[in-house]
């Protein structure tokens, strides 16, 4: 990777507060562009001199691969190339952004998948029925309860520190996309599972991660994904469902039970209301299903 790209990634981490997930994806995308540039142009990438012709040629090559990329993957690559050029323009190192006019494929509109309340309950009960050390079973239960009870993203959950917990107030502080801070309320069941876990786990410090691995270090997102898969199987559910489905379930169940859209937006930490509105389509679909099932003239 070129020094210019490395500096851009440092900027994303230090100044933009981008998640590790975003940093990793941007790194992969920029490395891919630099590899393509080297193979096609026979030279290392100088991001100060990359022009719109090269950018268009790259995305044309991406679009006509034998193995078609998902539209989201193409959009990610555009965002990464556009992002580094925008960064260099802001730094006064470039006059223009050669990727500004690049248009990607339309993002497919898909309704978020979610679990029924019955399935959520089966999943949340699974750690209590598992074997293993009591504090680890309590940890896993607290993780699932917090993901569903607070609607947290997996990165937000893994980033929780003890100083972010205000259990007596019934809230936890999380840092979402772009390091935006918000306070998430938790219900009695989620709070109870956290208290039980912390008591069994033992004392830490304000800077300690809330969720420990076996070596008292931070639990990784990959570890959370693995344990979710284990408990999905134990509950007789699709093991390919991701932790993010609990966030979808959180939002959908709130709206189905009468929560207003603006409140759900705040709880999810969405910057734009349009990001939250997708859940209203799910709720309307459920209402129509109930209507057709119950109304005598449906």
If you write DSSP's letter for every residue of 220-263 in order, what string do you get? PHHHHHHHHHHHHHHTTS-TT--THHHHHHHHHHHHHTT--HHH
Q: What is the mean pLDDT of residues 177-183?
A: 85
Q: Which residue is catalytic, options 82, 137, 141, 153?
A: 153
Q: Alpha helix (H) ranges present in the chain?
A: 3-14, 20-41, 52-63, 71-90, 117-129, 134-150, 154-158, 188-201, 221-234, 244-256, 261-268, 273-294
Contact by Cβ (8 Å): 219, 175: no
**Cβ partners under 8 Å of residue 277, min gap 6:** 261
How high is the pLDDT of residue 294? 65
Q: Is 110 a catalytic residue?
A: no
So what's the pLDDT on residue 292?
76
Q: Is 279 one of the catalytic residues?
A: yes
Note the pLDDT tens digit of each residue in 30-72. Answer: 999 999 999 998 899 999 999 999 999 999 888 877 678 888 8
Mean pLDDT calculated for residue range 7-15: 92
pLDDT tens for residues 208-235?
999 999 888 889 999 999 999 999 999 9
**Would strands 181-185 and 171-175 be described as parallel, antiparallel, or unpaired?**
antiparallel
Q: Is residue 143 pLDDT above 70, yes or no?
A: yes
How sure is the predictor about 26, in pLDDT bands with cuts at 50, 70 and 90? very high
Res 295: pLDDT: 57
Chain segment 108-134, per-residue pLDDT in tens: 777 778 899 999 999 999 999 999 899
Cα–Cα distance for residue pair 229/214, rounded to 1 Å: 18
State the pLDDT at residue 291: 58
pLDDT at 284: 67
Active site residue 244: yes
Closest CA to 93 of 192, 212, 7, 194: 7
pLDDT 10s digits, 249-298: 999 999 888 888 888 888 898 888 887 887 777 676 666 676 577 656 65
- Could you confirm whether 180 is annotated as catalytic? no
pTM of the model: 0.71
Residue 270 annotated among the catalytic residues of the structure = yes
Catalytic site residue 253? no
The catalytically annotated residue of 77, 247, 248, 253 is: 247
Return the higher-pLDDT residue of 127 and 106: 127
- Residue ranges of domains in the chain, CATH in brackets: 3-90 (1.10.150), 117-246 (1.10.443.10)
Name every residue whose Cβ is closer than 8 Å to that of residue 284 and which is 6 or more positions away in sequence. Answer: none
pLDDT one-digit tens code per residue, 149-170: 999 999 999 999 999 999 999 9
Distance separating alpha carbons of residues 56 and 233, to the nearest angstrom = 45
Catalytic residue, chosen from 177, 182, 195, 229, is 177
């Amino acid at each position: 990777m070129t020094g210019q790209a490395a500096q851009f990634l440092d900027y994303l981490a230090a100044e933009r507060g981008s998640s590790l997930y975003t940093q990793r994806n941007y790194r992969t995308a920029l490395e891919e562009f630099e590899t393509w540039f080297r193979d096609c142009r026979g030279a290392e990438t100088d991001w100060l001199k990359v022009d719109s012709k090269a950018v268009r040629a790259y995305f044309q090559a991406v679009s006509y691969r034998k193995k078609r990329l998902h539209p989201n993957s193409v959009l990610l690559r555009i965002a990464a190339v556009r992002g580094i050029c925008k960064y260099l323009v802001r730094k006064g190192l470039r006059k223009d952004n050669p990727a500004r006019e690049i248009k990607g494929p339309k993002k497919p509109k898909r309704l978020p998948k979610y679990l029924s309340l019955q399935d959520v309950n089966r999943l949340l009960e699974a750690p209590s029925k598992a074997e293993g050390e009591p504090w680890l079973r309590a940890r896993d239960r607290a993780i699932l309860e917090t993901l569903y009870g607070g609607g947290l993203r997996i990165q937000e959950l893994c980033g929780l520190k003890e100083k972010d917990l205000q259990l007596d107030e019934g809230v936890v502080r999380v840092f979402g996309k772009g390091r935006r801070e918000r306070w998430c309320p938790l219900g009695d069941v989620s709070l109870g599972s956290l208290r039980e876990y912390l008591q069994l786990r033992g004392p830490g410090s304000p800077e300690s991660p809330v969720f420990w691995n076996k070596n008292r270090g931070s639990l990784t997102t990959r570890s959370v994904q693995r344990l979710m898969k284990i408990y999905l199987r134990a509950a007789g559910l699709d093991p390919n469902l991701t932790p993010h489905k609990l966030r979808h379930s959180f939002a959908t169940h709130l709206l189905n039970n009468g929560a207003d859209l603006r409140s759900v937006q705040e709880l999810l930490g969405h910057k734009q209301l349009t990001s939250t509105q997708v859940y209203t389509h799910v709720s309307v679909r459920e209402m129509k299903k109930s209507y057709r099932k119950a109304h005598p003239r449906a």
